[in-house]
């Protein structure tokens, strides 16, 4: 009798334990699902500037853009986004020119539209070739010079902003060909000058890819590289694309729209080509580099991997990671401490390289 009761007790205990495991499994599954869907919101980054925190609080994660199904649809979308950006308060070239004390001259070099940007106070004879962001797609026209004006002012350097061609009318290699044409023309005309190349987001990406191209063409290599939160791997191998998905308020994810945009940019070229995904190139002979990213930047890993590739090739490279900062936050969140720190240190970096 005692044996029978013992067996029944053990069976009841096992059943109860099984029920509890199932219950806790359901609870854990619920919370895991919520985390994966980002249903539990992150607090703003407490160590970031007030400007960065405010931007995050005021800008909820937006649904991805719909993927156009025709070239005409891509063109319409590009113009809509560019028009909206141009209409933002304080973003016109006239307003930026006045605010940052930079003279703006529209020009072209062998048919490629450029902006010659000259600050009121010049600290160096060097020349900065600026490439605008926007996924190699958005940000053309007058928008192409916005960041260039800031760099000209904060560094005290003459800047050439290149309004390179974009898809769908002009997929790869059109953008890099335009950049290379401008660069080669400038160094042929003024070989005595020091040259830097760079930009933010696609601008940084294109700067790295362009140096790969300059090496292929046996052009002289620029004296300095600036890459702010660049996308260096269009094949999506970077860890932060998963870890920071739906956390970055500017670039929530590359799934869907931005993957389609990468293919549009590449045209007939494979995504792992170094001119599309510059992380897959060889980094010997690269110039010293100044890199910027943040701990909430979807492209954190792309920037970190670029830094590692440069260091493994023996190249001087400075990796600057800002706590809580999202993609391009040092430009997008106004004149924050991050804005001033990034550009003050860029000035120090460039003046040092040009003095060597």
Nearest to 216 by CA among 281, 308, 309: 281
Quote the CA–CA distance of 46 and 41 in Å, as a whole number. 14
Q: What is the DSSP letter of 85?
A: H
Describe the strand order of the beta sheet including 289-294 as a list of residue ranges. Answer: 102-109, 112-119, 158-162, 127-131, 195-200, 224-228, 289-294, 317-322
Nearest to 211 by CA among 200, 190, 195: 195
Whether omega before 276 lies within 30 degrees of 0, making that bond cis, reads no
Place of tokens 């009121």: 120
Quote the CA–CA distance of 146 and 33 in Å, as a whole number. 41
Write out the chain's pLDDT in tens, 356 residues.
Answer: 444 445 455 555 444 444 343 333 433 343 344 444 444 578 999 999 999 999 999 987 888 889 999 999 999 999 999 999 999 878 899 999 999 999 999 999 999 999 999 999 999 999 999 999 999 999 999 999 999 999 999 999 999 999 999 999 999 999 999 999 999 999 999 999 999 999 999 999 999 999 999 999 999 999 999 999 999 999 999 999 999 999 999 999 999 999 999 999 999 999 999 999 999 999 999 999 999 999 999 999 999 999 999 999 999 999 999 999 999 999 999 999 999 999 999 999 999 999 98
Question: Are 295 and 45 a contacting pair, CB within 8 Å?
Answer: yes
Question: Are 79 and 133 a contacting pair, CB within 8 Å?
Answer: no
Nearest to 146 by CA among 304, 291, 259, 134: 134
Q: What is the pLDDT of residue 17?
A: 43
Q: What is the pLDDT of residue 184?
A: 99
Instruction: Please tell me the CATH superfamily of domain 50-355, with its number.
Output: Alpha/Beta hydrolase fold, catalytic domain (3.40.50.1820)
Whether omega before 67 lies within 30 degrees of 0, making that bond cis, reads no
Quote the CA–CA distance of 12 and 17 in Å, as a whole number. 8
Query: Is the pTM above the cut of 0.95?
Result: no
As a dihedral over the C-alpha atoms of residue 87, residue 90, residue 93, residue 98, rounded to 10 degrees, the angle is 160
Quote the CA–CA distance of 161 and 351 in Å, as a whole number. 19
Quote the CA–CA distance of 177 and 213 in Å, as a whole number. 9
Quote the CA–CA distance of 322 and 217 in Å, as a whole number. 36
């Amino acid at each position: 009798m005692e044996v029978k009761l013992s067996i029944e007790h053990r069976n009841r205990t096992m059943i109860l334990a099984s029920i509890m495991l199932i219950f806790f499994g359901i609870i854990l599954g619920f919370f895991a699902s919520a985390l994966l869907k980002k249903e539990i919101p992150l607090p703003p980054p407490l160590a970031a500037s007030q400007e960065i925190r405010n931007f995050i609080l005021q800008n909820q994660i937006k649904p991805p853009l719909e993927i156009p199904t025709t070239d005409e649809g891509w063109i319409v979308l590009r113009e809509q986004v560019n028009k909206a950006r141009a209409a933002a308060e304080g973003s016109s070239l006239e307003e930026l020119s006045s605010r940052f004390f930079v003279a703006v001259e529209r020009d072209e070099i062998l048919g490629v539209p450029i902006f010659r940007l000259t600050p009121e106070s010049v600290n160096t004879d060097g020349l900065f070739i600026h490439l605008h962001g926007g996924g190699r797609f958005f940000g053309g026209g007058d928008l192409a010079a916005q960041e260039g004006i800031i760099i000209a002012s904060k560094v005290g350097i003459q800047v050439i902003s290149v309004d390179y061609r974009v898809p769908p009318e002009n997929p790869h290699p059109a953008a890099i060909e335009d950049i290379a044409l401008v660069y080669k023309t400038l160094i042929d005309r003024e070989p005595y000058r020091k040259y830097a190349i760079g930009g933010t987001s696609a601008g940084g990406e294109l700067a790295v890819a362009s140096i790969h191209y300059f090496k292929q063409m046996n052009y002289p290599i620029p004296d300095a590289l600036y890459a702010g939160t660049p996308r260096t791997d269009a094949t999506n191998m970077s860890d932060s694309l998963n870890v920071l998905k739906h956390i970055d308020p500017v670039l929530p994810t590359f799934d869907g729209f931005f993957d389609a945009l990468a293919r549009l940019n590449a045209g007939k070229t494979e995504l792992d080509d170094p001119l599309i995904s510059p992380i897959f190139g060889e980094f010997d002979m690269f110039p010293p580099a100044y890199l910027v990213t943040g701990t909430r930047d979807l492209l954190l890993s792309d920037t970190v991997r670029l830094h590692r590739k440069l260091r493994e090739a023996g190249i001087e490279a400075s990796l600057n990671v800002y706590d809580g900062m999202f993609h391009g936050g040092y430009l997008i969140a106004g004149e924050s401490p991050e804005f001033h720190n990034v550009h003050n240190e860029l000035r120090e970096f460039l003046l040092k390289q040009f003095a060597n």
